[in-house]
Amino acid sequence: MSYVSSIELRKVRPEAVNEKSVLESVVDLFHDVVEKVPQAYSISSRSTNNDQFETIEWIRFLSNAHEWHSSIRIDTLVLLIAYKSGLSLWAIENNGIANELFSIREHNLSSACLLISNTYPDDSYFSQRPLFAFAKSVGPPSIQIRSLKNDQKPLKIIDLPGSGPQSEPLWIESNKFVLICATHTYIIGYDLIKFDEKFFISNCYSSIPYALSTRWLAFVDYRLNLIHQSLGGIDGTISEQYVSYTGAMLSAAKSLSKSVVKIGESFLGYGNIGSQQLNSTNINDKTVSNQTQLSLSSSSTTITNSNTNSTRHRHGSTKDESQPGIVTIVDTIKLFGSSIHDERQNWIIAHFQAHTEPVSHLQFNPSGHLLVTCDTSGHYFYILEIQPSPYRSTRTYIKQLYTLFRGDTDCRVSHMTFTTDSRWLAVSTKRGTTHLFAINPYGGKNPLNSSGADQKVVRYFST
């Protein structure tokens, strides 16, 4: 059963942070270690204090919640917290007081978002808005739409194409025009009026990451299409000029390790061939010579056939070969159907190469004219200004404003976000660190950056 509660259920006032003493920290560490070794203590000695709190599965901030209720100001932090048995929405004021706006009792939710759309005369859900969409992590892949005004059954259940874990919805997000759902294999968009399928993107290098702005959608494309390629792009020489000594040593170590692995594989391969030849010496010379002739003829035939097949496969698959680091930006209002790269299309805003390695994260700024990208290594982040053309994507100019440097070691980026004025960028990693970058949304020298006016590489302030 699901339950939608009334406005302002609970109110939590801020509490002072009490720093633990050294003794309390040691005791907590001891309890954490004991919890990981159940055989070291009896079941009756376990602490029951954690049983009264539910485990938080995931959280996210909502930027469009002020359009849902008049009491929510635009500068109010709105936090969505998901548990194993449901989720709740909290509004955090400037004084630190948190008010619970509503809660839903539903199990195994993988993602959720508010649906705020423009007013249309043919909107059949007008009296029931605002709406709320959520995707479940178990059962058939689907998205459920429900109203926040009452406790009725879901207004609509959208069944996703396909079945199995590959079609499981990973993340859903929306703007005022479209609802986006990303799975392991595709990105699908639905209109916010009748929730009919609007477009289907399957030619992705990876469905995650993607970025949704107030109108545009950026995703990682399968390969570069020259007929849609935009002007400008990244300047890889900038990051190469500021490689530190530690980064150079780590890169050299990686190259050396790869070379050692290749040498070891080739050595083992030759060793196996040599052992086979030594084992074959027990056979008489005539048999050996006959077998050698047969093996040579068969191997030559096999090599010829394999070369022919490999050449045919290579020439036949060149067009469909994937290429990492390609980003495509489309207009969610104009986009429809499944043929993204149609020659007669008018929905591609930009199409360019953002990295030479696979892209791991994308994020728009609030206005949508800046896009930050990063690859799987997590060393550098590119701040790109999108200067769109009203005619076609080949006239769009991609201007690289900054190259943000995080560190020399590899890491996985978990989230990136801009401030409302786009002068700060926060990057969080899987290592539990957050890096704060100061930038100028229009490019040029930043007064908070002491590296100089001619230096495009911006380093973070703190972690």
Going by C-alpha positions, the residue among 206, 212, 183, 224 that lies closest to residue 351 is 224
Structure tokens at 382: 């590119």
C-alpha dihedral, 242 to 245 to 247 to 251, nearest 10°: 120
Question: What per-residue confidence (pLDDT) applies to 231?
Answer: 93
Question: What per-residue confidence (pLDDT) applies to 321?
Answer: 79
Query: Which residues make beta-bridge pairs with 232?
Result: 398
Which one-letter DSSP state was computed for residue 442?
T
Contacts of 246 (CB under 8 A, 6+ apart): 408
Is 115:132 a contact under the CB 8 Å cutoff? yes
H helix runs in 337-434, sequence order: none
Question: What per-residue confidence (pLDDT) applies to 262?
Answer: 66
From first to last of its 463 residues, what are the pLDDT tens digits of the chain?
A: 344 444 446 778 777 766 666 666 666 655 555 444 444 444 444 444 445 677 888 888 887 777 777 777 777 888 888 888 888 888 888 888 888 888 888 888 888 888 888 777 788 888 888 888 988 877 788 898 988 777 667 889 998 887 666 667 778 999 989 999 998 888 999 999 999 999 999 888 877 889 999 999 999 999 999 999 999 887 655 445 445 545 555 555 556 666 666 676 666 655 444 444 434 444 444 433 444 443 434 444 333 343 433 333 333 334 567 889 999 999 999 998 878 888 788 899 999 999 989 999 999 999 999 999 999 888 889 999 999 998 899 999 999 999 888 877 888 888 899 988 899 999 988 888 888 888 999 888 766 654 443 444 555 554 4
Domain locations in the chain as residue ranges: 208-250+322-463
Contacts of 370 (CB under 8 A, 6+ apart): 364, 383, 384, 385, 386, 401, 418, 422, 441
Quick one: the chain helix, strand, coil %, rounded to 5? Answer: 25, 30, 45
Going by C-alpha positions, the residue among 81, 62, 82 that lies closest to residue 72 is 62
> Alpha-carbon distance 382 to 235, whole Å?
9
> Alpha-carbon distance 381 to 355, whole Å?
10
> Alpha-carbon distance 361 to 221, whole Å?
13
> Alpha-carbon distance 435 to 461, whole Å?
7
> Alpha-carbon distance 188 to 195, whole Å?
11
